[in-house]
Structure 1
Amino acid sequence: MTRVPVVVSIGVDAELSDVIARLRTLGLVVDRVLDPLGVVVGSVDPDRLAALGTVPGVSGVERQRTVGPA
């Protein structure tokens, strides 16, 4: 199955390292952590995408979009 790129937003009161550990147990492969922004960029199997949003401390999950020249 093809993994989908995602951007996960972490709440300001959440412990980033704890949330990332929980996301990894759900299958998220972390590519980048933008700590000052509270954002994690990675990829996950499409059937696990909705589960990422149930992790305590996660404020949002979006598929990452690629933008290029028209």
Structure 2
Amino acid sequence: MRMVLAQSQLLNGDLEEAAATATQAVEAAEALQSARFQRYVENFQREISPIPIVRQFNERVREAMTPTGGE
């Protein structure tokens, strides 16, 4: 799972790589329906500070998790 890899990269101090990996996971979007995946993303977001690359990641997460269509 890419979010686990992103967490590992974050723990190793590689914020940019962690954010890139997490972004790929979110953009893949297959797992967004999974409560476990959503928890991984939320935990990842809590652990990273609000710097520009993180804000960009958070925006992509919001966009990916927003339902589309005329519901």
Report the TM-score when normalising by structure 1.
Answer: 0.32
Q: Which has the higher helix share?
A: 2
Higher relative contact order (CA 8 A, sep 6+): 1
Report the TM-score when normalising by structure 2.
Answer: 0.32
